[in-house]
Each structure stands twice: as structure tokens, then as C-alpha cells.
Structure 1
Amino acid sequence: MTGFPILTLMIALPVLAALACLFQNAQGARWTALLTTFVELALGIILWINFDPAGAQWQFVEHVDLFGRFSWALGIDGIALMLIVLSVFLMPICIGASWEAIEKRVPEYMAAFLLMEALMIGVFAAQDLFLFYIFFEAGLIPMYLIIGIWGGADRIYASYKFFLYTLLGSVLMLVAMLWMAQEAGTTDIPTLMAYDFPVEAQTWLFLAFFASFAVKMPMWPVHTWLPDAHVQAPTAGSVILAGVLLKMGGYGFIRFSLPMFPEASVQMFWLVMGLSMVAVVYTSLVALVQTDMKKLIAYSSVAHMAFVTIGLFAFSRQGLEGAMLVMLSHGLVSGALFLCVGVIYDRLHTREIARYGGLADNMPKYALFFMLFTMASVGLPGTSGFVGEFLSLVGAYQASSWVAFVATTGVILGACYMLYLYARVCYGKLDKADVAAMPDLSAREIALLLPIGLAVLWMGVYPESFLKPIRRDIGVVVARMEKTGFTGDAHVTAGKPVIPAAAAHEGAHH
């Protein structure tokens, strides 16, 4: 694999396919998009197989100087690898979910999705500060079009809100990047990750990046664009928005905020933890009272992404590894839940929870899949949701027992709203004629849900295959954080008991 520009190929291929789609009819565009996303998935698997967790930190590196300090610099570590694999895994599923649901402007729709795939891979593979920024911002455009053109009744409002929120947050980040390039004399991300910025400047830089990543996650209180965007977006738009686009905020924290501004990250510990604790409890309570299925899952996304920030800002290996697993698990599970909503929406054209009931009787296959993803969302042991949340809570406890206590209430509330949703949709009396007439899953729908279901169980039963590639890269971030001397309030260390100083002194006398 050495010397072959596989990352450039993975970015260029969807762009070329998107252009090809624009010159085809609807059916031709569908097949072009599907075949391209399968090729991308194959390339993603090749990346994973050839990635050596014990090799160099940055692999598949490509570097071409373009002009001035700007260069086409790509390369991945284990963290970027996992998020790229998640992106290419969900993309063919999104195309399959749109096969029959999208009937107008199909070539343009497929082109927008392919362009989004290229930009998402670019975000995770970029090794140049400004190249990252270009990919990060450009990803807004296809999503804005997908919501604005193929969305629901209030799609224009939702797409503008999505665009303005995420764009305004990123303007400050660009200013910070310009200052960093000037200060460090380079725009190379791996170099900047090891650079020690002045402590007084770190706080401002941290806040500038925080403005962008907090909106993207989204963190409370800048989360209000998300429920609107999800409700109005077509099913596949919701899948990719929840599955990958929200992960860019978490990726930003782990790639920029923690390693580049460690002292500022410690200073902002209570700000981030405070916002995350409010998000876990508040958005879970809001989810409990929703009448629209998509809104309920959207609010649950905000609560789950708060687990990510809690894990990241615990500054420990368990917390960071847990945050990464929560991101991967949430990408699979929330995507699958939006697909489940899309399946019954296509049949009845309503997302009102009260319109359903008793689906386990006439749609048993659907009820089975929906149950699996509900349980994974709740964090049932044996599913992907458990491992990440458990590790995040362990990390949170080491940092602050209060944060761990509040976050744990979020797990309980999560069980409340997800099981309440499932009970109202799948159980009860099947007394509505139109609901009773709904057919069970088609072969196409099973083909969409089955791979996600298998991935959710794989991650739950054998998380090591997802932890192994990221372990060393998490260690690099943890090493940067340890230099700050941050200590939590939980007096536990893994492996050996801690003997208080007084007791040790007493033992010496005896």
C-alpha cells in the first residue's frame, strides 16, 4: 500500500461520480451512487486491513505543496480511520434508503450525497490546518441542500438555521487558525499537536475552536438547530447527519482542543462538564414528552453526544476511549433508529407516535430490529451502546464523582424515553385499520438494517477490534493532558490500592 494515494482516491472518486450523476437519468444516478459508495466501502475496508496499530502514528500519508503554506496533506491515525470506516459504512445504506423515497431531482440528490461523502473523508484525513477547515465548512453545503430541497414542510427554516448556526461558530475558529499558523510557523496538524502554545493564548484559542465544535456536536444550549434539521431532513439525510456530521465536533475536540490547548482544556473543565450535565438531564426530559418520533431521537442524540464530551474532558484513557466508542456506537444506532422511523413513515406518512401501536402483531421483523436498536440506545450489555457509556462513566468518575452521578441519571432517563417510545409504537392494541394494513419489512429494508444490527452486536461483544486501532493515538492525547497535572476528586488508580500517607507512616513505625 505504500506510495499509493488511497486517501486522495477516496476523496476524488465520489466527486467524479457526483458529476457523472448530474448527466444521468434518475435510475442511472441511483445505480452510479450505489456502486460508488460500495467501492468506497471496499477502499475503507482495505484501509482498515492495512492499518498497522503498532506502526507509525500517521499512515497513508500524502503531501503535495500547492502554494504558500497551503499544502494537500492527507494521512490518518487510528481515530481518523475509525470515523472514515463509519462514514463509508453508512453511505451505501443511505443511498439504499433513498431508492424509492426520493422521486424528484434524483440525480442532484445522489450528487449531493456523494459530494458529502468526499468532504467527510476529507475532514478526517486532512493534515493541514486550512485544508481541514475547507473540508469542515464545505460539508455544510450539500447537507443544507439536502434539507432545503428534499426536506419536509418547514425545510427552508430548518436549512437556514442549520447553516447559520454552524457557519457562525466556525468564523472564530478560522481567526484562531490564522493566529496559530503565524505563531507556530506551520499549518501541519501533527506538528501543531505537539506544539506548546503560550498558556495565556490557549484560553482564547480554545474558546474559538469550542464555538465551532460545540455547535457541531451539538452541545446545550446551541443544540436547537438539530431537532429542526432532523425533523425536516429526508430519512437518509437524518442518518448521515446523526451518523457522521455530529462526530466532526467530537473529532475536533480530540484532534485540536485537547492536544493543542491542554492547559486551557483543564481551565474549561467545569464549563464543558456543566454544559454536558445539563444536556444529559435536560434533553432526556425533553425527549420524554415528544410526540414526533424523529424529534425524540434527535433530542436523544444531544444527550448521547453529551456523554462524548464528558468522556473527552475526563482527560483519562478510559474517558477518551469511551468517548470514541460512544461516537461510533451512536453513529450506528441513531442512524438505524432514523431508518426505522423512515420505514413506517414511508407507509403511513406520519411520524406522530400516537398514530401507531401494536406493530409487533403485523410487523414482527420490524419490531425485532427496532427492539435491538432501542436496547443499544439504552446501553444494554452486549450491544455497542454499553461499552462506550461504561468507559465514559468510569473516566468521568475518576475526574469528578458528581459528574459521574449526574451522567448516570442520563442513562436511566435514556431507558425511560426509548422504552416508552418502543412500547407505544410496537405494543398495545392494533385497532387502527391503516396501521393494521402496513406490510412488514421488504427485502431492501432488511438489507439496510441487518448490517447495522450485526455491527452493533459486534461492537458490543468484541469492542477490542474497535479499540485496538485507536489505543496508541488516545495515549498520545492522554500524555499531553498528563503534563497539565490535572487530578480528579476520585481517589482511585487502576491496578494498585492507594495507601493514605498517614497510614503508610504508621506502618513504618510498627
Structure 2
Amino acid sequence: MVLLYIILIPMLGALLSWLLAARKAALGRWVALLSLLAGLVLVTGIWITHAGNEGSFNQWLYNWQQPWIPHFGISLHLAMDGLSLVMLALTFFLGALSVLVSWKEIKFRTGFFHFNLLFVIAGIAGVFLTMDLFLFYFFWEVMLIPMYFLIGIWGHERREYAAYKFFLFTQAGGLLMLLAILGLYFVHGANTGVYTFDYFALLNTPMERALAQWLMLGFLVAFVVKLPAVPFHTWLPDAHTEAPTAGSVVLAGLLLKTGAYGILRFVLPLFPEAAHDFAPWAMLLGVAGILYGGQLAYSQPDLKRLIAYTSVSHMGFVLLGAFAFNEVAYQGVVMQMITHGISTGALFMLAGVLYERIHTRELGRMGGLWPTLPAMGTVTMVFVMASLGLPGLGNFIAEFLILLGSWQANKVMTILATVGLVVATIYSLRIMQRVFFGHTERQYALPDLRPREWAMLLPLVAVILWLGIYPSPVLKTVTNDQLRMSNEANNQKPMRTDSSFVMRTSITTDSLIIPN
């Protein structure tokens, strides 16, 4: 039942926050914050408990299932493994900080704002926990509507356009995934006589190679739209630019990760051979995103839009590593999901804090802010260095592991992706140069970071440093998880009997160069 509590806590908190905010806005804020902190404490407690037990992550930590609509093979099936655990920790951590960053920014309909924010968090938690594909699609859609309201009601000037664009892109991808889910459901039923949406049962679905490729593409398109990958990325800059700060943090830090999670959890285990056939194209899309997203980031005059395009570039590394089919790359992908959420979420928070003071996002109207805002400049420097992959910060570990793993799969793509690190250095340093250094004609008298802002940013600094200096707890949590997922995928009836695929997906932990 602990898995159900993880989803219910933000849902109930959303309702209570909305009701209490009608009496006093501060009550709604506190209820939202305490609900997400309670979820974070619960998830952290689970992590600490199982980290002390040797071999815990060799298996599913929790597995809870109850019939829901048994006539159609639909059940309430929730399960947690190492991958789910680290993503839930990230979800509640950034969710709580999103409440803090919106504490003063949201001045109207605060109850409804926190209702939508917490329901997005609940939907994301459901995506990370559900093992029934019908239920997965349900939570996938639960994320969509509240985020549409967050952008459309509390966003900036072009908020309605950005909200519609976000809705249309993600809804179109979701409908393709629904068709693929139904296709897999009927194929499994026709071959086995058992019609079910259960993930573990569908892992063993026999099917023709061409059909598997089409079904895999149905899932993959939905996930690369949410990731997003080039050329499905065009909704992201508009949504990020127009969303309130909390919406940008949730979008960059969490919603994008549901696309990466879907690839790791569903595309690769359910369709291992089809994914292997598509791997060169997927890696090409990843490299295109790395280079094209970086080039667009450098050319942006708007600070939030610049940060948004860095997400396109960084998520290209996720696509590159996910289709490298080895454990080193897999660990890098999970680390990239976490560290990108931390560093980019922090940059959006800083952009929001800066906008509250100078009321502009245009880089051309900034400059020379370091003497006035030295503390903010120092914190921004930390996350800018993380974004460009400076050793000692978490992003370096993630990108190094991805490139090390992808080298084993495709050397040309790895070399091209490495060029993206140079591009990242250029656009990241441009943030510092245009915002905090250089010459400006304007005279500023601005307050530096306030206590609430320190409370938001210091935990992010601590986490990005911890992940860069001592990533072993995260790596050990997802290492055995990857081996188990590979074994589950390899237990499928293969459409091809060569040994190359099995070798690609069964690299042991002895190949890691990072010590425990």
C-alpha cells in the first residue's frame, strides 16, 4: 500500500490546498509544501531502508496489484524498483521547491494553482509506479490537463498559444501510444488467449518483426515528443518561455523525464529487437538534438528560451545513451535525467528570481549584475558550470558515462556528440557573460538572494555537488535494476537468434570504471 500512498498524498494535498486557500492563501501554500515534503520523506525513507540491505535492488522493491476491470484485463498494478525510486525522489524534491519558488510569484487563484501543481506531481508519480499499461496511459493523461492550466492561466504574454501547442503535441503523441498499447493488447490476446494490460505478461508477447517495429514506434513517438527530440521539440521553447517559474521547473525537471523513463521502461524491454534495429536512427536523432539544440540555445535573446533549448540539447544525450544497449550508458542516462532536472530546474528558478527584480528576460537589457547580486551570480555560476559538464558536478558524471557507453555501440555518433560538449560550453558561458558581466548603461539597486530563495537554491547546490563527487549511491541503485530489466527483456521469444543483441544488453558491473 505504500505505493498507493505515494500517489494519494499529492492528490489529497491538492484538494485540501484548494479548499483551504479559499479561506486564506497562505494555508493553501503550506498544505501544498507539506504534502510534497511528506512524499519526499516517505520516498527517502524507502531508499535508506533498502540501501542498507545487500541485494535489495536485484529485485522489485514493492509490487502491489488489485483487480480493477478484470473483464478487460485491467488492474491497479503498482511496482517500484531502483529506477522508479530515484525518479520519485527527484519528483517530490523538485515539486517542493516549485511551491517555494511560486510563493510570491502567484498572486491570484492560488488555491487552484497549487491544486494543478500537485495533480501534475501525482500524475508523474503514477507514471513512475504503474505496471499496467492502461493505468499508465491514464496517468500519462493526468499530467497533461493540469500543466495546460498552469501555462494557460498563470503564464506570460503568449500563454494561451503556448498552452495549446503543448496540449496538441503531447496529446497527439499520447494517442499514438494508446493505439500501440491496444495493438499490443490484442496481439498478446490473439497469441496467448489472455487479454491483459499487465506489463510483466506483455513482456513475453510473441509477434512478427515488422509488427513489433510499428508498435514500438507508437510508444517511441509519444516518448520522444515528451523528451523532446528533434524534430518534435518545437512545443518546448514556447511552453518554457510562457510558463510561470514553477511550471518551467516541473516541465524541465520532471515532465521531460517521463519521456526518458518511458523509453527505458517500456520501449526497450517490450520491443528489444525492434529497438535494436532502430538504434542507429535513434542515436542519430539524439546527436541531432545535441548539436541543433545547442546552436539554437546560443542564438536566443530571451533567457528562459535559451535555457529551454539547452534541455533539447541535454535530452539528446538521453536518447544517445538509451539506445547504446549497455549498462554504462544506461547509468549515464539515469544520471542525466537526475542532474539535468537539478541544474536546469535551478536555472529556471534563477531566471524567475531575476525576472521578479528587473522585469525582463531579454539578455540585451541585462549585464553588469555581479556587483549588485554577487550571491545570485555565484549560485548561477555553479549551475552554468554544471550545464557545460564541469568535472566535480553531477552533469559531468552523466555525460561521461553516456559517451563511454555509446562509444561501445557507435563511435561516429559518439564523436559527433562530443562536439556538443564544446557547444554547451559556449552557450553556458554566454549566460554568465550577458547577465552578470559586461558593460551596462543601467544602474541597479536590487536586493540579493532572500532567505526563501536561499532555501530553494542551497539544496540544489548540495545535490549537484553530491552527485558530482559521490554518485555511487545512485549508480548502485540503478545498476542491478538495469541487469534485471535486461534479463526480463532477454526472456522474450526473440525474432532473431544472433548473439550480438544479448551481448549488448548483458554487460556486467565489472565493466564499470567508477568504484563503489
Give the counterpart of 2:153 among 133, 149, 153.
149
CA-based RMSD? 2.0
Instruction: Name the SS of the counterpart of 1:71 in structure 2.
Output: strand
Give the counterpart of 2:9 among 10, 13, 23.
13
CA gap 1:354/1:278 in 2 versus in 1, 3 angstroms: same
Instruction: Name the SS of the counterpart of 1:429 in structure 2.
Output: coil
Instruction: Specify the code of the residue in structure 2 equivalent to 1:385.
Output: N
Distance 2:399 2:204 in 1: 29
Distance 1:120 1:484 in 2: 38
Match of 1:508 in 2: none
Summarize the alignment of residues 469-508 of structure 1 with structure 2, pairs less than 5 Å apart.
Answer: 469-479=477-487, 480=489, 485-486=499-500
Distance 2:486 2:418 in 1: 24
> Are 1:59 and 1:76, in contact at CA under 8 Å, matched by a contact in 2?
yes
Match of 1:503 in 2: none
State the Cα deviation string for residues 241-286 of structure 1 (Å, max 9, x = none).
Answer: 0001000111011111111111111111122122112111111111
Give the counterpart of 1:304 among 288, 298, 314.
314
Instruction: Specify the code of the residue in structure 1 equivalent to 2:81.
Output: D
Instruction: Specify the code of the residue in structure 2 equivalent to 1:111.
Output: F
Match of 1:118 in 2: 122
Structure 1 gap ranges (5+): 497-510
CA gap 1:49/1:494 in 2 versus in 1, 3 angstroms: closer
Shift in Å, 1:194? 4.8
Match of 2:83 in 1: 79
Distance 1:42 1:20 in 2: 19
Instruction: Count the aligned residue pairs.
Output: 488
State the Cα deviation string for residues 90-138 of structure 1 (Å, max 9, x = none).
Answer: 1110000000000010000011111111111111010111111100111
Shift in Å, 1:430? 5.1
Distance 1:320 1:333 in 2: 20
Distance 2:374 2:120 in 1: 35
Match of 2:514 in 1: none
Summarize the alignment of residues 23-422 of structure 1 with structure 2, pairs less than 5 Å apart.
Answer: 23-24=19-20, 25-51=24-50, 54-55=55-56, 57-68=59-70, 69-184=73-188, 185=194, 186-422=196-432
Distance 1:438 1:397 in 2: 48
State the Cα deviation string for residues 307-362 of structure 1 (Å, max 9, x = none).
Answer: 00100001111111111111111011110010011110011111011211122211
TM-score by length of 1: 0.92
Distance 2:438 2:109 in 1: 40
TM-score by length of 2: 0.91
Match of 1:449 in 2: 457
CA gap 1:451/1:495 in 2 versus in 1, 3 angstroms: closer
Shift in Å, 1:472? 1.1
Distance 2:229 2:499 in 1: 27
Instruction: Name the SS of the counterpart of 1:61 in structure 2.
Output: strand
Instruction: Specify the code of the residue in structure 2 equivalent to 1:470.
Output: V
Distance 2:156 2:446 in 1: 22
Structure 2 gap ranges (5+): 189-193, 512-516
Instruction: Specify the code of the residue in structure 1 equivalent to 2:10.
Output: P
Instruction: Specify the code of the residue in structure 1 equivalent to 2:130.
Output: A
Shift in Å, 1:494? 10
Shift in Å, 1:429? 3.1
Distance 1:77 1:494 in 2: 18
State the Cα deviation string for residues 18-73 of structure 1 (Å, max 9, x = none).
Answer: 11222223111111111111111111111212335613622222111112211111
> Are 1:53 and 1:468, in contact at CA under 8 Å, matched by a contact in 2?
no
Give me the identity figure in percent. Answer: 41
Shift in Å, 1:195? 4.3
Instruction: Name the SS of the counterpart of 1:361 in structure 2.
Output: coil
State the Cα deviation string for residues 379-425 of structure 1 (Å, max 9, x = none).
Answer: 11110000010010011111111100110011110000000111111
Choose 127-136 or 469-478, whichever is displaced more.
469-478
Distance 1:32 1:118 in 2: 15
Instruction: Name the SS of the counterpart of 2:66 in structure 1.
Output: strand
Distance 1:79 1:191 in 2: 20
> Are 1:280 and 1:303, in contact at CA under 8 Å, matched by a contact in 2?
yes
Shift in Å, 1:484? 6.0
Instruction: Name the SS of the counterpart of 1:359 in structure 2.
Output: coil
CA gap 1:59/1:144 in 2 versus in 1, 3 angstroms: same
